[in-house]
Amino acid sequence: MKFYGGCDSGSTYTKCVIMDETGKIRSDVTLRSKIRTVESCQDAINQAVEKVPELNSPADLSYLVGTGYGRNKVPSADENISEISCHAMGVHVVDPTVHAIIDIGGQDVKGIAVDTDGTVLNFAMNDKCSAGTGRFFEAMSRAFEMSLEDFSKLSLSAKNTIPITSQCTVFAESEVISLVGEGKPTDEIAAGIELSVAKRCFVMAKKAGATDRITLTGGCAKNDGLKKAIEQVLNLKVIDLPVDPQLIGAIGAAEFARRKGSAK
């Protein structure tokens, strides 16, 4: 049996997936990214390999694809492929009926339209600004002095929404602190934050040409409050994936590795 690896080196989390030659996912690992990208990738790959009894070391992988912001620093990778292509392929592997993706990672937001063969039809992404990304949520939950999970739950309990006017992470944090200081209901502020990010996602999805059968990927896809807000602004039900949405990039990379490795 041959095995193939995909390592998604994200700005916040590093993910690794190992797939066998039939396309079955045999192991996955998600680690907080360290300052040294190579080290984070090596740790993730080693841990993923350890979970597969047939593998002794990363060298036993027949093909390894790196993706994500640190894709060209994945040790021993045979190739690197952009996270945009990998997310499209990853989603296609787990649910071929999906037509579009909103990927919200640690430092960027992307809208990706997916073709019927899992390739990218079109995409749009933010530039250098971190507004509406995982970093933004981290800053907001820090302002609320709570975990990301609790922040999401808090927003879901709101009956109304207090709009957040600033898209900038720094200014939005300042605005939130002011609103909390004024004694405004925290759940409504949290719902306002989710809505402001959802609107940014709306723009990316529309720019990419997404119309229907949209799913969320990336770490922020686990934020139920954001998911609800996105469904509200897009006026449709977001498709739930049968796997951890944070792993999609790594799954896509592993699938590319499987296809390329088999063709070798």
Question: Cα(117)–Cα(89) distance, rounded to whole angstroms?
Answer: 8
Under rule CB under 8 A, residue 63 binds another protein: no
Residue 165: Cβ-neighbour burial (10 angstroms; 0-12, 13-18, 19+)? exposed
Nearer to another protein (CB atom), residue 76 or residue 107: 107
Nearer to another protein (CB atom), residue 153 or residue 207: 207
Under rule CB under 8 A, residue 81 binds another protein: yes
- How far apart are CB 143 and another protein at their closest, in Å? 26
- 92, 122, 126, 221, 236 from 115: Cα distances, Å: 9, 9, 21, 21, 20
- How far apart are CB 28 and another protein at their closest, in Å? 23
Under rule CB under 8 A, residue 198 binds another protein: no
- How far apart are CB 246 and another protein at their closest, in Å? 18
**Amino acid identity, position 96:** P
Q: Which two tokens stand for residue 226?
A: 């954001």
Determine the size of the site formed for another protein (CB under 8 A).
16
Question: Cα(259)–Cα(264) distance, rounded to whole angstroms?
Answer: 9
Kindly write out the interface string for residues 108-137 of this chain, putting x where it contacts another protein by CB under 8 A and - elsewhere.
x--------x-xxx-x-xxxx---------
- How far apart are CB 112 and another protein at their closest, in Å? 9
Nearer to another protein (CB atom), residue 25 or residue 253: 253
> Whose structure tokens read 């989390």?
13
Under rule CB under 8 A, residue 151 binds another protein: no
> Whose structure tokens read 């609800």?
228
- How far apart are CB 19 and another protein at their closest, in Å? 19
In our burial notation (b when 16+ CB lie closer than 10 A, e otherwise), range 40-59 reads: bbbbbbeebbeebeebeebe
Under rule CB under 8 A, residue 83 binds another protein: yes
Under rule CB under 8 A, residue 82 binds another protein: yes
Nearer to another protein (CB atom), residue 57 or residue 72: 72
Minimal CA–CA distance to 226: which of 213, 241, 216, 239? Answer: 216
Helices (DSSP H) in the chain: which residue ranges?
A: 37-50, 83-94, 134-143, 148-156, 169-181, 186-208, 224-234, 248-263
- How far apart are CB 160 and another protein at their closest, in Å? 34
- How far apart are CB 110 and another protein at their closest, in Å? 9
Q: Are 251 and 25 in contact (CB under 8 A)?
A: yes
Under rule CB under 8 A, residue 203 binds another protein: no
Nearer to another protein (CB atom), residue 104 or residue 120: 120
Applying CB under 8 A, the residues found at the interface with another protein are: 69, 81-85, 108, 117, 119-121, 123, 125-128
